[in-house]
Structure 1
Amino acid sequence: MNRSWGVRLSMTAAASALSLAFITGCSSDSDSGDKSEDTADTKASPTAPVAPAGKASTAAELKKLLLVAGDVTGYATDGSEALLPKSKDQGKVDKTECSPLLWSTLGLPPGDTTVSANTALKEEKKAGGSGELSATAALANTRTLIGLSSYEGDGATKAMKAVSDSITACSGGFTSTDADGEPTKITKVTAEKGTGGGDEALAFVEAVDIEGTTVPVHGEVIRKGNTVATFYSLNLAAFAGQGESPKNPPALITAQLAKLK
């Protein structure tokens, strides 16, 4: 995660929480996608199944495959992705081998492709008797950034290996810097068991240093055919020391994988 983005997101959410449109409680009546949870966890490795050769999707095609409001009950589309970098030249790391981790947390392709699309979904919390959410409750809503990237040939498999290698090589941490020169310090990276699914799946947790306080933030990278999906969840209240940092919601992951070809 890029701290500058996190700070901007916090400010945006806080400002939005003061508006009637943001704090008015609402619940989705839409049906969710497939709610079954696949807990299998496949470790990406040089011997992992190779994706079948094929033509990469276009960015427009990927955009149509992204989750939207109504796909999963309890989640609405969030505009936070507008604050994210649009290309890899807008961020850098002090250790080149850590780049795939940075890109996967920003909804950018972790592998060698420029074909991608991303979105952000926020958890909808029901309002109390007043029909409104407090600013604190609104900030506590979990936001999940979802990125899709598509590759020619075995590019998706190579992307998964790059992330796997990055988790190992960057276990001791790294520092990323955004286009404005704002640094984010990751003190530790650890592999963990995630929701799984697809043809290959990886999950990791980053220990993010926020003004001297360490906050664990969870990411998942999953390949399905020639498409790689990345998931990274943030709870803004956790960054303020007011709650736990959640793992990526299994319902979102399962529903997103179900939409991929």
Structure 2
Amino acid sequence: MKRSPGARLCAATAIGALSLSLLTACSDEGSKDASDAKGTASATASAAASDAKALPKAEVEKLLLAQGEVKGYKVGSGDDTLPASKSAVKTDKEACAPLAYAMSGLAPGETESGASNTLTEDNASAAATKAPGDISESDLENAFKVNLTFVGLSSYEGDGAQKAFKAVSDGVAACSGGFGVTAQGQKQKITKVAPDEAAKSGDESVAFSVDSDVDGEGSATFHTRVVRKGNTVASFYTVDFASLTSTGKSSAVPAAVVDAQLAKIK
């Protein structure tokens, strides 16, 4: 982690005492229609959620972006950077655990159907094609301009995806003052959590940033986006090493990665 109108408009023109009765009748009818429509939509959504079935883990893995499916990025397994399970990630506040999971490519809700990988912006550095003696300082700087995004997908039974998304959304406010987290044995202090602005996507989406203490010598800011599409929840956590070095702030989650990943989720 060292390593973001149903309301219906009625118009009535009338004279004298008739105007009030017409306006009242129109208002009552519109409210009834809106209420009926809202109730029907809610019932339909609830029925759809209750019928949802989680995809097997192997099928979730197939939904992850593969090499060549998003231009300008290299796809990696994430095996050497991402926690293998939730047991490797602990927080000192229960409400903040879903945030930590989302930042680690893990399922923020209760499910065994989850998978993750990484996407690295393909930065072809001149340093890789030159002899050691010909590499300039500029070449070295460009070589470290790496934008890495951890992607996690998880699939849920019934309304599990809605609950998982809500846990993240609620956690942004509940954990605004920060929290402690231990990931793969490394302790980290998140000093602040704040909502981020991001384009709406999927059925529900939320973005947030976290400020993380850097060995007591300042802080670094990282961005995360979490999107629910049907009964699948996708999380994206980005680390921009070049920006962190110069400004202490990581870039926003790349829209190209989010869009490409969501397009694979039916």
Question: Do both share a fold (TM > 0.5)?
Answer: yes
2:75 alignment counterpart: 77
* Structure 2 CA distance for aligned equivalents of residues 87 and 185 of structure 1: 20
Query: Structure 1 pair 72/78, CA: closer, same or farther in 2 (3 Å)?
Result: same
Bigger helix share: 2
SS of structure 1 residue aligned to 2:65? coil
Q: Partner residue of 2:260? A: 255
Asked whether 1:220 is paired with 2:206, we answer: no
Superposition RMSD in Å: 2.0
Supply the AA of the counterpart residue of 1:144: T
SS state of the match for residue 223, structure 2?
Answer: strand
Contact 2:115 2:152 in 1 (8 A): yes
Displacement of 1:130 = 7.3
Where does residue 11 of structure 1 map in the other structure? none
Q: 1:240 is paired with a residue of what secondary structure?
A: helix
Question: Which one of 129, 139, 144 corresponds to residue 144 of structure 2?
Answer: 139
Tell me the residue number matched to 1:238.
243
Local SS of the residue matching 2:80: helix
Residue 106 (structure 2) aligns with: 108
**1:173 & 1:216 partners in 2: Cα distance?**
12
Count how many residue pairs are aligned between Structure 1 and Structure 2.
215
Residue 65 of structure 2 aligns to which amino acid in structure 1? Answer: L
The answer as to 2:188 corresponding to 1:190 is no
1:208 Cα deviation after fit: 1.3
Q: Supply the distance in 2 between the matched residues of 1:223 and 1:99 (Cα, whole angstroms).
A: 18
Deviation (angstroms), 1:177: 1.0
Query: In structure 2, what is the equivalent of residue 201 of structure 1?
Result: 205
1:62 aligns with 2:66: no
State the shift of 1:129 in Å. 8.9
Among 160, 184, 187, which residue is 2:165 paired with?
Answer: 160
SS of equivalent residue, structure 2 residue 201: coil
Cα pair 2:219 2:248 within 8 Å, conserved: no
Residues 138 and 100 of structure 1: is their aligned pair in 2 closer, same or farther, counting only changes over 3 Å?
same
Say whether the 8 Å CA contact 2:222–2:249 is kept in structure 1. no
In structure 2, runs of 5+ residues without a counterpart are 4-44
Shift of 1:84: 1.7
Query: Which is worse superposed, 240-249 or 158-167?
Result: 240-249
Q: Is the 8 A contact 1:81 1:120 kept in 2?
A: no
Answering whether residue 169 of structure 2 is matched by residue 171 of structure 1, we say no
State the 1:195 CA deviation: 3.0
- Stretches of structure 1 lacking an aligned partner (at least 5 in a row): 7-48
Q: TM-score, normalised by structure 2?
A: 0.75
State the 1:135 CA deviation. 4.6
State the AA in 2 paired with 1:208. Answer: S
